[in-house]
Amino acid sequence: MRDSPDIMPETPSERALAEENRRLRRICHALMERVESGGAANGAPYAAFEHAVLLAEQVRERTEALHRTLDELGQANSQLHEAKADAEAANLSKTKFLAAVTHDLLQPLNAARLFASALEEHRLPQDSALLVGHIGRSLKDVEALLGTLVDMSRLDAGILKADIAPFQINGLLDALAEEYRQVAGVRGLTLHYVPSSVVVSSDFTLLARVIRNFLSNAVRYTEQGHLLLGCRRRPDGLDIMVGDTGPGIPELQQEAIFLEFRRAQPNHESHSRGLGLGLAIVDRISTILDHSVLLKSLPGRGALFSIKVPYGQLTKRSSELTVEAAQVGQGPLQGAVVWVIDDDPAILEGMQALLRGWGCRVRTAASLSALEAASDGEEPAVLLVDYHLGDAGEDGVALALRLRRCYPALPVVVITANHDAELKRYARELDMNCLLKPLKPLRLRMLLTSLLEERAT
Amino acid sequence: MNNRFFAECGYFASTSFLRQELLLDISAVTSAATTPVRTAASRRQDPECAAEELAKALKHEELGFVLFFCSAEYPLEALGRALESAFATVKVSGCTTAGEITPQGYDRGCVVAIGFDRRYFAVDYALVEDLARFDLLRAQRLVDQLLENCRARSLASINEHSFALTLLDGLSSSEEQVLATLDAALGRIPSFGGSAGDDNRLAHTHVYAQGHFYARAAVVIMINTPLPFEVFSTHHLLPLEHKLVVTQADRESRRVLELNAMPAADAYAQMVDVPKAALGPQVFARHPVAVKLGDQHYIRSIQRVNEDVSLSFYCAVENGIVLTAMRPAPLLHDLHHMLDSLHQRLGTPSLVIGCDCFLRRLELEGLGELGQASQLFKRSRVVGFNTYGEQHHGMHVNQTFTGVAFGSLAR
């Protein structure tokens, strides 16, 4: 012991002080020892406990910090959710509004197109015929623009769904080539078309829309030279390509042109009637169809757009719609009895004029009973029926089914502004055909011709 | 003998609780008979009869695991064999106690068990026989194996929905190292548990696994469940001014020889103002000491006074540590508050597994509040045992109520 050696405690209080002094030294010593060991994890059990407490404390602190962060994130997140919901609601109401407006516009436009078409069939003085032609083309442009808007709103609303079926690609491309050869000719361009009879699996209408948009762009932006429409077989699908010798697209813009309302060269006013939605639609459709779209371009040399479509296997029925373009002239339409049911008198009148012009015998009415009363027991060769027959009662398909009870296997064409693939599929299952509004006279004529020919054989 | 037996399914508990809750519970039972846990207790002294009674109450087609706590007074080998044969293929694990918490509250000399429905719980366990050589490598392997087996059942995601329950021999003096090692291997998976007891005889405590009771061993039980759960720990003790410094300790035997350079028992008796001869568990329970780490006080419970006037502890001690005198706040109040907050977060618990320090029980007995505490336990469906120490997130703690509470699946 290193107790103070100099002073020997004598009195009891001195002894007590000396004892306390001794104990304090011991306590001091123990504490120093402990402090100097620094709680080092020397494998001692108590050190393990201290270590565990330290860890638990750290975990607790971190958990608290994490909870705070999570709370903040949660708040930010819920704000974002609200903002997103607002934006979505606004977008939805915009889409609904657009769909409603375009739908309402399509009805009278449809009628106007039918009247104009019917008027063209009349024998007119040459300058009048020219004017009628202009009216027809202007209406067609309006219709195209409206169609684009409808498509865009439907694509955005997710209404448009792919209706995939196999078909021969020339059934689509031949008609487009023919159409755009003339369009290109007007602008002093030539169109090279390389036909192909490969069978692909896709949505006929949507794919047509894509290629049509490629071709329209090519025509719009190419000042001189030629356009190309053709296919190339690849191991993973058929590349359908549209090339031009236009100004091309700088690499920096190659992504941007697929966005809405963008045009490669906005100063290119002279002949741009488009809204700049063409490629945005291509982009959305290719996503829906799961077909990849490729753009190759050298500025100053031209551009090559292509879409890759998977190969398909032709079944028996699927070639029917891709009929050879109907020849205009004397044909099965001559004298054919066509019944038309629509709740819009203007449409009925337009249809009557158009179909009469093609030599059909037309019966029109707003309802089946009215039609049957007016028919004098004459058997219909084909029925054209509007899908949406007013707010009350049955739809066009149900009406057609009812009529088929009297006339089994009656060819039916359902006309609808509803782009739903479900309706198309349903109609196809019932062996009915669908045409979309606005009704294209050429397309109606092709379809009627093929239906009546089929019935004759 | 019927009144000496009570076995009931957790959901049938007849409580004086809100009528509305009772109705809900009944609908839960009638709707699909899919109570995720059942609990039962038997007071039969004959091991065969006790095991049979438990099996009768708990067994059903989807019984996946049985956890039990039994009095150390049972003939353990016989009870082990009886349980093994009564539950046949179902895995069973458990430990001896210093008192049981049955569905009716505190009890002694009986066996209480919990049956886990395999549709709600993926459970696996492992026995650690050699505690001294339980190193990180072994711990990692053990944890990996347990998690793997739980994951194979694919009931719920492992990281968010699992916890480990540890049962340790309470007299092995190796809790701290085993826990620190295990906790490192468990990573983010929460853990809790209790040290087995032996009805205050301080002779032999046992854990049960694979059909046998083992001393100087531990059981690690991994539980994975889609039910919401919360691991908790609470105590009711507050710090006083007085401090004692450990000036001489024997860390191997957890003995403190000197406090403030005085014989340990003398220093302690002087501080708490109790004659040295009167020192015993009741006094230790009422006058605990704690170490302060950071802002928290951790109780270090005294086990007994030795003949050499040293004090044995239930936990690791070391030279130079500073012990703070503590005083108890009302225990029932703290317990009530704790259980209430569980109700608030989880709804009425479908089960609480509680590791309750036997010193708390002693304190309640001394205060004559054992019955009230039992009511609180019953209301919150607490089942568990009185321990010689609790484990919480890798820490060996004393004089706490530590456990896990299960909520119900959202309907």
User: Tell me: the pLDDT tens digits for B152-190?
Assistant: 888 888 888 999 999 998 788 888 888 988 988 898 899
User: Encoding tokens for residue B134?
Assistant: 């339980």
Selected for mutation to probe chain A from B176, B182, B243, B345 (highest A CB count within 10 Å) is B176
Supply A108's token pair.
Answer: 């009278």
Is B105 inside any structural domain? yes
Judge whether residue B300 has pLDDT over 80.
Answer: yes
> Which residues in chain B are closer than 8 Å to A30, comparing Cβ atoms?
245-248, 261, 319-320
- Let me know if residue B139 belongs to a domain: yes
The distance of B227 to chain A (nearest Cα, Å) reads 21
Q: Look at residue B13 in the predicted model and tell me its pLDDT.
A: 35
Pairing status of strand B390-392 against strand B395-397: antiparallel
> Does residue B305 sit in the same domain as residue B382?
no
Q: Is residue B264 part of a domain?
A: yes
Place of tokens 């024998």: A123
Rounded to an integer, what distance in angstroms lies between the CA atom of residue A247 and that of residue A263? 13
Q: Find the CATH number of the domain harbouring B299.
A: 2.40.30
In a domain, B339, yes or no: yes
Residues B304, B367, single domain; the answer is no
- What CATH topology corresponds to A329-456? Rossmann fold (3.40.50)
Out of A70-74, A111-115, A239-243, B8-12, the most confident range is: A239-243
Contact of B22 with chain A, judged by CB distance below 8 Å, is answered with no
Q: What is the pLDDT, as a whole number, of residue A271?
A: 45
Residue B33 has pLDDT above 50, yes or no: no
Closest CA of chain B from A206, distance in Å: 44
Residue B5 confidence (pLDDT) above 60: no
Domain co-membership, B241 together with B346: no
Instruction: Kindly report the nearest CA distance between residue A60 and chain B, in angstroms.
Output: 10
Residue B212 domain-assigned (yes or no): yes
Each domain of chain A, given as residue ranges in start order, spans: 1-38, 85-157, 166-315, 329-456
Same domain, B75 and B214: yes
Residue bearing the bigger pLDDT, A192 or B32 = A192
pLDDT at B217: 93
For residue A281, count CB atoms less than 10 angstroms from its CB and return exposed for 0-12, middle for 13-18, buried for 19 or more: buried
Domain boundary among B288, B308, B328: B328
Q: How many domains does chain B have?
A: 2
pLDDT at residue B62 greater than cutoff 70: yes
Amino acid identity for residue B3 in this structure: N
pLDDT of residue B148 exceeding 60, the answer is yes
**A304-318 mean pLDDT:** 79
pLDDT tier, B218 (very low <50, low <70, confident <90, very high otherwise): very high
Minimum CA–CA partner of A33 in chain B: B320
> Is B233's Cβ below 8 Å from some Cβ in A?
no
**Contact: B320, A31; criterion CB under 8 Å:** yes
Does the residue B88 lie in any domain? yes
Q: Is the CB of A40 inside 8 Å of chain B's CB atoms?
A: no
Query: Looking at B328, B347, B374, which one is the last position of a domain?
Result: B328
In a domain, B282, yes or no: yes
Three state DSSP letters for A20-76: HHHHHHHHHHHHHHHHHHCCCCCCCHHHHHHHHHHHHHHHHHHHHHHHHHHHHHHHH
B411 is a domain residue: no
More confident residue, B96 or B135: B96
B247, B294, B318 ranked by CB distance to A46: nearest: B318
Q: What is the mean pLDDT of residues B189-208?
A: 91
Q: Which CATH class is domain A166-315?
A: alpha beta
* pLDDT computed for residue B127 by the predictor: 95
Residues B64 and B177 grouped into a single domain: yes
End-of-domain residue from the set B284, B310, B328: B328
Give the long-range contacts of residues A117-124, CB within 8 A, separation 24 or more.
A117/A354, A117/A357, A117/A441, A118/A350, A118/A353, A118/A354, A118/A356, A118/A357, A119/A353, A121/A354, A121/A357, A121/A358, A122/A357
Residues B113 and B17 in one domain: yes
Please state, for a pLDDT cut of 70, what percent of chain B lies above it. Answer: 91
**Is B130 in the same domain as B256?**
no
Q: Look up the CATH number of domain A85-157.
A: 1.10.287.130
Helices (H), B88-227: 136-153, 158-161, 175-186
HSE on the CB side for A1, CA within 13 Å?
A: 11
Residue A315 — very low, low, confident or very high, per pLDDT cuts 50/70/90? low
Query: Which residue range is the domain that position B397 belongs to?
Result: 2-234+332-406
**Mean pLDDT, chain B, whole residue set:** 88
B266 touches chain A (CB under 8 A): no
Asked if B7 and B126 sit in the same domain, the reply is yes
